[in-house]
Amino acid sequence: GALDNFVVLTALSTILGDFGQPNSGTFVISAYVIASAIAIPIFAKLSDLRSRRNVFLGGLLIFIAGSIFSGLSQNLSELIVFRAVQGFGSGGFFPVGIAIVAVSFPPETRARIIGLLSGVFGIAVVAGPLLGSAILGFTTWRWIFYVNIPIGLLGFVLIATTLGPLVPERARRFDLAGAALLSGWVATLMFPLYQISGEGWSWTDPRVIGLLSACVVLVIAFVIQEYRAENPLVPVRLFAHRVVAAGSGATFFIGMVFYPVATFLSLVVAGALDPTASNPADVVRDILY
């Protein structure tokens, strides 16, 4: 999931040029990111209520389906829709993967395994531009999506045959209202921000004001719902603990620094450099020098 987004960023200008819409790239990225942000807490909670293995495999199948149809897209609108499907499926990888590690490994090795999983994001920043450039150097941009299919199916088979179901001790009701409110406020927050940065909307645009106002209302409703829910999607009471609040805040600010830099690196390869270089070493050389 992390690697896929950076690969697509590298090939974005080529994709948009093929569709004849060179200035419409914002939605290709934002659809994936918004859907993924919505899916992460939903998959995390589902893995607490149902078989963690099956929830992970469900997310993987959604991601594979999104990859297939993204590669088959005949216009930009189709690609945006299927990128959202991809993003939603990818939202299950990291949180459910962490949950599986938490119940599968003893405490003395758990932190090391989680650290290795987290390191995948750092690898993706470097590998994404390299892989994207290599694919474009040998074939069409559609293989940026098709390459996910055999990898995803191999992962599906390995996980399905080697991992137990990891079913929780007792089933509980899923917080549908919380999921709906979460989806609403994330979408109404991120969509106008992407439009401001990529499509030239201004902060005083009535559409921006309306969407951000709706976001505030939905956030308030979400917090109230999570306080009242018997089994909340996001247990907001945990944020009263200093360790949880500090850790969440640190993660938030790290993300604010990491993702813009990672995105910029991919866009440098896509725009300032030659994204169709067949030799990935040439891309690394250009980035470094």
Residue-level pLDDT at 150:
93
Q: How large a percentage of the chain has pLDDT more than 90? A: 25
Give tens-digit pLDDT for 76-128. Answer: 889 999 999 999 999 888 788 888 877 777 777 777 777 777 777 767 766 77
Amino acid at 198: G
Question: DSSP string spanning 156-178?
Answer: HHHHHHHS-----SS-----HHH
Amino acid at 237: R
Domain containing 265 — which CATH number? Answer: 1.20.1250.20
**Residue 278 above 50 pLDDT?**
no
Q: Which of 152-156, 159-163, 240-244, 255-259 has the lowest mean pLDDT?
A: 255-259
Residue-level pLDDT at 233:
85
**Residue 289 above 70 pLDDT?**
no
Do the beta carbons of residue 192 and residue 208 sit within 8 Å? yes
Q: Does residue 70 fall inside a structural domain?
A: yes
Q: Does residue 196 fall inside a structural domain?
A: no
Residue-level pLDDT at 267:
61
Task: Count the helix, strand and coil residues of the chain and give each as a percent rounded to the nearest 5.
Answer: 80, 0, 20
**Residue 218 above 90 pLDDT?**
yes
Q: Does residue 197 fall inside a structural domain?
A: no
Q: What is the mean pLDDT of the chain?
A: 82
Q: Does residue 204 fall inside a structural domain?
A: no
Q: pTM (2 decimals)?
A: 0.80
Residue-level pLDDT at 97:
82
What domain range is 164 assigned to? 2-173+261-288
Residue-level pLDDT at 288:
46
Query: Six-digit token pair at 199?
Result: 């499509």
Q: Does residue 247 fall inside a structural domain?
A: no
Question: Which single residue is written with the structure tokens 């505030």?
Answer: 216
Query: Six-digit token pair at 196?
Result: 């401001």
Residue-level pLDDT at 274:
52
Rounded CA-CA distance 183/136 in Å is 34
Q: Does residue 142 fall inside a structural domain?
A: yes
Q: Which residues are CB-contacts of 196 (< 8 A; sequence separation ≥ 6)?
A: 202, 203, 208
Q: Does residue 37 fall inside a structural domain?
A: yes
Query: Six-digit token pair at 48?
Result: 């607490």
Among 181, 154, 182, 144, residue whose Cα is nearest residue 66: 144
Do the beta carbons of residue 233 and residue 175 sit within 8 Å? yes
Q: Does residue 250 fall inside a structural domain?
A: no
**Total domain count, the chain:** 1
Rounded CA-CA distance 51/48 in Å is 8
Per-residue pLDDT band for 181 (boundaries 50, 70, 90) equals: very high
Residue-level pLDDT at 286:
53
**Residue 264 above 70 pLDDT?**
no
